Amino acid sequence: MAPQGENRTDADLTGEPGSSLHGVTGHEVFPYINMDTVPEEATDLKGRKFSLPVDSEHKAKKLKIYSFARPHMLTFHLSWISFMTCFFSTFAAPPLLPIIRDNLGLTKTNIAHAGVASVSGSIISRLLMGTICDLFGPRYGCAILIMATAPAVFCMSIVSTVDGFILVRFFISFALATFVSCQFWMSSMFNGQIVGLANGLAAGWGNAGGGITQLVMPLVYDLIAKNIGADNFTAWRLAFFLPGCMHIVMGLIVLAIGQDLPDGNYSSLKRSGDKVADTFFKVLQYGVTNYRTWIFTITYGYCLGVELTVDNIIAQYFYDRFDINLTIAGTIGSTVGLMNIISRPAGGLISDMAARRFGMRGRLWALWTLQTIGGVLCIGLGLLGSLGPSVVVLVIFSIFMEAACGATFGIIPFISRRSLGVISGAVGAGGNVGSILTQVLFFSNPSYSMEKGIMLMGVMAIACTAVLFLVYFPQWGGMLCPPSKATEEDYYGGEWNEAERAKNLDRNSLKFAENSRSERGRSRQEQTSDSAPSTRV
Amino acid sequence: MSAMKIALVLAVALLALVSVAEAGVSFKSLNSSRTLTVQAKIQATNVTSGQAHVGTDHLVISWALNSSFDGTGKDARYVNVKIKLCYAPVSQTDRGWRKTKDDLEKDKTCSKGITQQKYVSTGNTTTWRITKDVPGAVYFVRVYAVDAVGTELAFGQTTDKTKTTNLIEIVPISGRHVSIDIAAAVFSVFSVGSLMGFLSLEAIKQRKANSKAGHFFRAAFTDIIRGHSVLREIKIIKSKC
């Protein structure tokens, strides 16, 4: 906890022996004081002022999008731009496919396999990234991944066979795990009351990279082919140097000026004792044994999974069913990706607004409503037979589905404090598994027409969203059941055993518990403000 | 709300585009008008079928009005001829973007145009250097006779109706260059190398800081222990009062 104004002495600012531990050891032994707000001139553990109002964990309570101030807003911009770079490079091949398929002699089956490969690599990497974030921090996770996948992007320039193309798309898709580091980073930097909006903005603007690439890569290709005069089959290869260089630049920037937590990086905080060094197995255990992880893996599979599937098949669907120009079909396809800029943050905002009034129960109902409406619209899309209404329904459907994705990550930060990375990784990977499952079940079977596949996808989305009714937080309740007498400290403290609690290793979880009391909703908040401040000796 | 408006405008624009498009000429209707004879030879070897290399080989295409139609007046409306390179069925399988459709406006079989010439009943020849953007596939050559506005009136092709004879295989360029390979390798090594460099630098800094921190820790702990014992004494004194 930051030292309060009256406790600070000049010694703390001059860095004398013991000042680096200020706010840690001496303070922790004293009884906890329930402080939701910290004065505007709060400082981090090194005495630097924060430019945004922060809570007791130094997480920001406001989002100033136009600011690049350290550490919160700078982190926000670094994480969404690096995630956008990865989405950009993963989906850089589809807009250039008309040239690539002629160069490599690809068939429709080859292209379908490459499409599946481009979402499967990230399943493994998202799971790994979760644990890396928990143990080493999101800065290292993001930078290492983005720079390690840069060679795969450059390899795209030198492929000459079908298998090579599929393999390269598989390896580039590992980069999509930056989603996990992005969400983890946002959850570490922003308070629970705005975490939905922060997560939604960062992920939505990152996801939009898939739409941006559909517009930018053809332009770059045209520039190289026409203005520089390279052959078609050489020009597309040169165009891939753009996403590759973006990877290197973003990786270096993240390493140079990124920061894991508001107070500093994991390594320096571990040294000063502010960050608990955790073990891989403990982190994995608490992530895997929490049943809520798996419920959200399923629901996100039919939220992001549906969105990814639609990204892959929609241009083809419009081209084949309604016989329109391939360029127009591609533009419609990119609209779905670009909608993310608004709809995903909107979902996060809706989740936060529901939480302000109804707490966690509000967040759960908001998510269920958004995703179910999305499923209904998907069924409608499959049933419609004319072009105009289909486009309108497609746009509205993508708004609701992407908002549901945003709302999901308004809830994920609250499932666990200790294993946030593992859970984010598992849920993120679930999205990709859902997409592969859907494509295999409904879109590779020759007996299903594409419209029937879309309709069945909508039905499955509604069915899988219904598992949300099983989620129950003892301290906040579930969709149908009210909360029990348990407290947030019981829930988050329960992730640490007696021996660990004796060593004070759970202090960060308890700080988080205190800050998460906002998830009780307005009516219960009024009750708790009357009661005595909670203490812990 | 503005998202809804954008969606509506997009829908209206698309509907407008769809209503403007018209169907093209049906290929089946031209069946009775196969009035042209076409021959295509690979210049290097002077054969009508075989392998041709992109960028170096030439195709010599000669077309003329079929002698059986001489003087029938069938070619009265022919103004120009369009010579096109078309995919053979073997190169169309599992590739929907090269599909043969009856509506010539939507037909993708002959997507590569070679050239356009003025129509004369005695025919003409053209030599075409195979351009580097031609994909590797099996082809035949088709010539459409068109009127002044470009509507197809008749055709001729180098192969038979089933498109299995006299096919030309074109060998493409790979698009790869040694310079691209080297550049890709250099950038990749730079990426991984700078990452390793950064990580090792940070590890070295950490090790240095840890050894310094060790001293701080020891000093800090002694302070705290002293502080605790002072506080305990104060509490004992207070409780006694």
- Mean pLDDT, residues B36-63 taken together: 83
| Cβ contact, residue pair A18, B176, below 8 Å | no
CB hemisphere CA count around B114 (13 angstroms): 26
| Cβ contact, residue pair B191, A147, below 8 Å | yes
Kindly indicate the confidence band of residue B120, based on its pLDDT and cuts at 50, 70 and 90: confident
ipTM metric: 0.77
Rounded to the nearest angstrom, the gap between the alpha carbon of residue A183 and the centroid of all alpha carbons in its chain is: 4
Cβ proximity of A455 and A383 under 8 Å: yes
Which residues from chain A sit within 8 angstroms of residue B184, using beta carbons? Answer: 154-155, 157-158, 241, 244
Mean pLDDT taken over chain B: 82
Q: What are the tens digits of pLDDT across the range A418-438?
A: 888 889 889 999 999 998 888
Tokens of A355: 């939480």
- Looking at chain A, which residue has its C-alpha nearest residue B227? A26
Rounded to the nearest angstrom, the gap between the alpha carbon of residue A479 and the centroid of all alpha carbons in its chain is: 23
Query: Between A98, A150, A395, which is nearest B7 by CB?
Result: A395
Least confident residue range of A176-185, A458-467, B63-72: B63-72
| % of chain A with per-residue pLDDT over 90 | 37
For residues A510 and A32, what is the distance between their CA atoms, to the nearest angstrom? Answer: 10
Q: What are the tens digits of pLDDT across the range A211-264?
A: 888 888 888 888 898 888 888 899 999 999 999 999 999 999 999 998 888 877
Interface test with A, best of B105, B169, B195 (most A CBs within 10 A): B195
Q: What are the tens digits of pLDDT across the range A478-524?
A: 889 888 888 888 888 888 888 888 887 788 788 888 878 888 888 77
For residues A285 and A467, what is the distance between their CA atoms, to the nearest angstrom? Answer: 23
Q: What are the tens digits of pLDDT across the range A117-151?
A: 888 888 999 988 988 888 888 999 999 999 999 99
Q: Which of A125-139, A171-185, A327-341, B203-217 has the highest mean pLDDT?
A: A171-185
pLDDT at A403: 94
- Mean pLDDT, residues A319-345 taken together: 81
* Backbone φ and ψ of B71, nearest 5°: 75, 0
Cβ proximity of A427 and A300 under 8 Å: yes
Residue type, A28: E
Chain A stretch 324-363, residues whose beta carbon is closer than 8 A to a beta carbon of chain B: 324-326, 328, 332, 335, 339, 342-343
- Using the Cβ of A138 and the Cβ atoms of chain B, whether some distance falls under 8 Å is answered with no
pLDDT at B12: 63
Least confident residue range of A14-28, B90-104, B148-162: A14-28
Q: Report the length, in residues, of chain B.
A: 241
Q: Name the DSSP class of B118.
A: E
The answer to whether the bond into A71 is cis (omega within 30° of 0) is yes
Q: Given the structure tokens 């090269």, which residue do they identify?
A: B98
pTM of the model: 0.78
Please return the burial class of A354, using the count of CB atoms within 10 Å of its CB with bins 0-12, 13-18 and 19+.
buried
Q: What are the tens digits of pLDDT across the range A84-119?
A: 999 999 988 888 888 898 999 998 888 878 888 888
Please return the burial class of A26, using the count of CB atoms within 10 Å of its CB with bins 0-12, 13-18 and 19+.
middle
* Backbone φ and ψ of A96, nearest 5°: -95, 5
Q: Tell me the DSSP string of A247-312.
A: HHHHHHHHHHH--SBTTB-HHHHHHHTSS----HHHHHHHHHS-HHHHHHHHHHHTTHHHHHHHHH
* Backbone φ and ψ of A506, nearest 5°: -95, 15
Q: Which 3 state secondary structure label does DSSP give B128?
A: strand
Instruction: Give the residue from B69, B86, B79 showing the smallest Cα distance to B116.
Output: B79
pLDDT at A402 over 60: yes
| Cβ contact, residue pair A147, B219, below 8 Å | no
Cβ neighbours, 10 Å, residue A472: 17
pLDDT at A526: 62
Cβ proximity of A212 and A128 under 8 Å: no
pLDDT at A336: 84
Rounded to the nearest angstrom, the gap between the alpha carbon of residue A93 and the centroid of all alpha carbons in its chain is: 23
Q: Which of A299-308, A519-528, B37-46 has the highest mean pLDDT?
A: A299-308
For residues A329 and A331, what is the distance between their CA atoms, to the nearest angstrom? Answer: 5
Interface test with B, best of A30, A101, A107, A157 (most B CBs within 10 A): A157
Least confident residue range of A263-267, A335-339, A408-412, A472-476: A263-267
Cβ neighbours, 10 Å, residue B141: 25
pLDDT at B220: 58
pLDDT at A66 over 80: yes
pLDDT at A16: 43
3-state helix, strand and coil shares in percent for chain A, rounded to the nearest 5: 75, 0, 25
| % of chain A with per-residue pLDDT over 70 | 87
H/E stretch holding A162 reads: helix A162-172
Q: Name the DSSP class of A521.
A: -
- List CB contacts of A320: < 8 A, sequence separation 6 or more: A450, B96
H/E stretch holding A143 reads: helix A138-148
Kindly indicate the confidence band of residue A42, based on its pLDDT and cuts at 50, 70 and 90: low
Between B1 and A519, the higher pLDDT residue: A519
pLDDT at B32: 72
Which residues from chain B sit within 8 angstroms of residue A267, using beta carbons? Answer: 202, 206
Mean pLDDT taken over chain A: 83
For residues A290 and A89, what is the distance between their CA atoms, to the nearest angstrom? Answer: 34
For residues A492 and A474, what is the distance between their CA atoms, to the nearest angstrom? Answer: 11
